Amino acid sequence: MAVASGPMAEAVTNSTQHLRDEDLYAIAAYLKTLPGSDTRSPRALKASDKVMQQGANVYSANCSACHNSDGRCINQLASSLAGNPGIQAQNA
């Protein structure tokens, strides 16, 4: 299950949900022609790091109501973040 909110929900509702397969293939083909990024992934931070603690506070205040404190979601409300391959994937 996936949930779009804010401006992304508006884009899905009013635009992208209406794309035909041909449109999606054309967009994918175009994106594949763009050059890749030379950006490197940042080093992993320890959970005790100040930035990680700030992130935990932001998650607790803004995300945990739907995704639960453990990231396993509330069934039928929001997608699970725990073990989600889109989140776990290495940056290219």
26-59 pLDDT, tens digit per residue, is 999 999 999 988 888 888 899 999 999 999 999 9
Residues in Cβ contact with 67 at an 8 Å cutoff, skipping those fewer than 6 apart = 59, 73, 74, 78, 79, 80, 81
Banded pLDDT at 91 (limits 50, 70, 90): low
Per-domain boundaries in the chain: 8-33+45-84
Contact 87, 81 (CB under 8 A): yes
Contact 61, 69 (CB under 8 A): no
Residue 86 has pLDDT above 80, yes or no: no
What the block records as the tokens of 92 is 């290219």
